[in-house]
Each structure stands twice: as C-alpha cells, then as structure tokens.
C-alpha cells in the first residue's frame, strides 16, 4: 500500500523532471510589454513587465518567476500615462484641451490684437514635457505708417517703442492746396498693418465768371486751388441768389454759383398780407421793392361762406404776380371789410 503511494509520487517527480508543468503566455497589461514574450515558460523562468514610453508603473510587481505549479501569480501592476505640467492658462489667449496626459495635444489661440509667438499646438511627449514649448500671445504692433504724398502726419504717438499697438490711430493732413480723399485717420489693424491710407491731390478750380448785374472777387493768383474763396455781389437793386462767399471744393468746382436777381416792384397800393407769420402792410414792408425770393400770403374772400383764405405769391427775378383772388379796394370804400379782417375759412377756400 505504502509502496504504491511512493511509486505514484516518484512517477510525479519523474513527470515534472521530464515533461514539467509550464507557464502559459502571461496576461497582457495595457501599455506594457513583457520580456521575454513567449507562448510558454519553464518553471524558474523570469519575465519582466515594462511600461511603454510615456507611461509609468503603478502598484503590483514588474518581475515574476514561472512557478512549479505552472500558473502566473495575480498581477495588479498598471501602466498610467505621464502628465505634462499644467498648461491650462494662456495670457491674452485661450487653451483648448481635454487632458494634459501623454499623448494628448492641446491647442492655443490668441485674443484679437495678439499673435501667437510659438506653435499653435503642443503635444505631451514621452518624457512628460510639452513639445514644442508653450507659446505666448504677444501684442500686435504696426510699424510707423507710411506718409502719403503731399501729406503730413498731424497726430501720431508710437506707444510701442517706435511702433503702434492694435487700435492705435494716426491722423494725416494734406499740404495746403491739396485735398484729402479717404479717411484722414488710419488705425493699426489686428494684422499689424494700417487701414487704407488717404490720398492728397492737388485741386484747381476754374476762375469764376462774373454774374449779370453783379461782380465777383477772387485772389489774384495764377490758379485757384482747394479752399480758395470767391466773393459775389450785385449792382443796384439786384440781390444775390446764393451765398456771398463760395469755396473751391475738393472736386475742382465751386461750392455754389450765385447769380444776381432783380427786385420786384409792388403793383398793389394797399394790401395786408402775411409775411413770415405776421400781418403786415405790403406797401410799407417793401417800400423799395420786394427782394428776389421773398414770399407773402394774400388774403382772399370766399363770398358764399363769408370767410377768408390765403394764397401765396413770391418775387422771382423781378416778377411778382398778385393772386387773382385778391381784390384791392379803394381807400375811400371804408364800408368794405378787408379780407384780412374776415374770419378764416375752416377748410380751404
């Protein structure tokens, strides 16, 4: 009986010695390699787990020996990604990220008026460092603006050394006799250049011609230029239609072309009219005639309705037409009520 057990045991030892119990391929651990990696191992053989670059070992054991039982012990070792230094804040810019772990990439953008000095992305590398390094958002600057021909810089303050910052402005002025086309103010843009520069052009105006029944004065010069002025006047009873002083515009024409207009003679002897909202005696108000352009309103009677209404009349270059509805009556006809004293009609004549 005893010898039978012995034989069994001896034969087991014999089996282990000749065939043996082998260890199978070890369990894989994420982000780790096994050295050496084989399909089976003899008892006593040693394996080593190595985390892949960018990962480090956490917990458990790295080295194992294949035991006589032929089954690998439990392994709680983990490979965890390296974490790059905090890079969640970029002054004057924004960082976009999910995590700061290997092998993630984060990206950068700068606020308007700033530009990225450096790369717009950085990757957390195997060493746990950002590659390339974290950029900075540097302020955009504009070199001093080019001065257009026939212009001068009238306002300019380089606030960034010899340069200007985003949104800084400069103002140009044209030389005398030159007119500006475009905006006199330029602004440093987010691209580091200036907005459209203005242009200064020489402007000549033709000599103004003398108006009929009047005169015009202008500088005694070879040519009349931008902003030069001419002064108009009229003879006798003529009045100026237009401004007294005109100016040579940037388009090479005069701001206006005044003419002389005749004064109107008043043909009625006695009439009360509305002049600038007030009742006046026409013959008194315009004793010396009515200047061109003046307007008055005559009072007329509506006989059926026994009320009064007004009709306008204007002096146009010596011509003044009294409205037909107006009835002038003799100063002797004292019993007649003047239309201006009759109550106004409710609506229309």
Ligand X SMILES: *[C@@H]1O[C@H](CO)[C@@H](O)[C@H](O)[C@H]1NC(C)=O
d(CA 31, CA 118): 32
* Contact (Cβ atoms closer than 8 angstroms) between residue 232 and residue 242: yes
Query: Whole-number minimum distance, CB 150 to ligand X, in Å?
Result: 19
Nearest CA among 62, 61, 106, 113 for reference residue 87: 106
Stretch that binds ligand X, among 28-36, 51-59, 185-193, 322-330 (CB under 6 A): 185-193
Query: Whole-number minimum distance, CB 272 to ligand X, in Å?
Result: 40
When the beta carbons of 217 and 253 are compared against ligand X, the nearer one is 253
Q: Could you say which of 76, 91, 196, 209 contacts ligand X (CB under 6 A)?
A: 196
Contact letters (x/-) for ligand X, 103-142, by CB under 6 A?
A: --------------x--------------------x----
Binding of ligand X at residue 268 (CB under 6 A)? no
Q: Output DSSP code: residue 98.
A: S
3-state secondary structure 251-279: CCCECCCCEEECCECCCCCCCEEEECCEE
Nearest CA among 20, 14, 12 for reference residue 41: 20
Binding of ligand X at residue 162 (CB under 6 A)? yes
Nearest CA among 66, 76, 61 for reference residue 25: 66
d(CA 334, CA 284): 20
Site for ligand X in 2-61 (CB under 6 A): none
When the beta carbons of 246 and 282 are compared against ligand X, the nearer one is 246
Binding of ligand X at residue 253 (CB under 6 A)? yes
Stretch that binds ligand X, among 11-19, 64-72, 186-194, 233-241 (CB under 6 A): 186-194
Q: Could you say which of 195, 213, 302, 314 contacts ligand X (CB under 6 A)?
A: 195
Alpha carbon distances (Å) from 225 to 46, 177, 200, 243: 101, 5, 13, 19
Stretch that binds ligand X, among 120-128, 203-211, 246-254, 327-335 (CB under 6 A): 246-254
Element (H, E) at 79: strand 78-81
| Pairing verdict, β 259-261 and 32-35 | unpaired
Number of residues counted as binding ligand X (CB under 6 A)? 17
When the beta carbons of 161 and 348 are compared against ligand X, the nearer one is 161
* Contact (Cβ atoms closer than 8 angstroms) between residue 269 and residue 286: no
* Contact (Cβ atoms closer than 8 angstroms) between residue 66 and residue 22: yes
Query: Whole-number minimum distance, CB 133 to ligand X, in Å?
Result: 8
Q: Could you say which of 88, 146, 161, 277 contacts ligand X (CB under 6 A)?
A: 161
Which residues contact ligand X (rule: CB under 6 A)? 117, 138, 161-162, 183, 185, 187, 189, 191, 193, 195-196, 249, 251, 253, 255-256
């Amino acid at each position: 009986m005893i010898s039978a057990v012995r034989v069994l045991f001896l034969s087991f030892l014999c089996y282990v010695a000749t065939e043996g119990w082998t260890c199978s391929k070890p369990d894989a651990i994420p982000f780790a390699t096994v050295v050496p990696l084989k399909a089976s191992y003899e008892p006593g053989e040693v394996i080593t787990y190595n985390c892949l670059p960018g990962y480090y070992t956490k917990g458990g054991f790295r080295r194992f020996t294949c035991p006589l039982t032929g089954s690998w012990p439990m392994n709680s070792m983990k490979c965890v990604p390296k974490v790059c230094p905090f890079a969640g804040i970029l002054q004057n810019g924004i960082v976009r990220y999910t995590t700061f772990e290997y092998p993630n990439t984060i990206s950068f953008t700068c606020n308007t008026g700033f530009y990225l000095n450096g790369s717009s992305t950085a990757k957390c590398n195997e060493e746990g460092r950002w590659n390339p390094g974290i950029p900075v958002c540097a302020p955009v600057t504009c070199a001093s603006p080019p001065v257009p021909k026939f212009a001068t810089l009238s306002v300019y303050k380089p606030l960034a050394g010899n340069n200007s910052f985003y949104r800084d402005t400069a103002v140009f002025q044209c030389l005398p006799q030159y007119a500006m086309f475009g905006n006199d103010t330029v602004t440093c843009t987010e691209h580091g250049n200036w907005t459209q520069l203005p242009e200064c052009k020489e402007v000549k105006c033709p000599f103004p011609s003398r108006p009929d029944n009047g005169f015009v004065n202008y500088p005694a010069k070879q040519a009349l230029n931008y902003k030069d002025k001419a002064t108009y006047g009229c003879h006798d009873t003529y009045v100026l239609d237009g401004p007294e002083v005109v100016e040579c515009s940037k388009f090479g024409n005069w701001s206006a072309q005044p003419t002389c207009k005749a004064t109107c003679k008043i043909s009625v002897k006695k009439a009360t009219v509305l002049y600038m909202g007030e009742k006046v005696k026409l013959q008194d108000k315009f004793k010396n005639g009515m200047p061109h352009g003046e307007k008055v309103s005559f009072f007329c009677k509506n006989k059926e309705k026994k009320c009064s209404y007004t009709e306008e009349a204007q002096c146009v270059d010596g011509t003044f037409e009294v409205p037909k509805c107006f009835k002038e009556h003799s100063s002797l006809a004292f019993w007649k009520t003047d239309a201006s004293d009759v109550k106004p009609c409710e609506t229309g004549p």
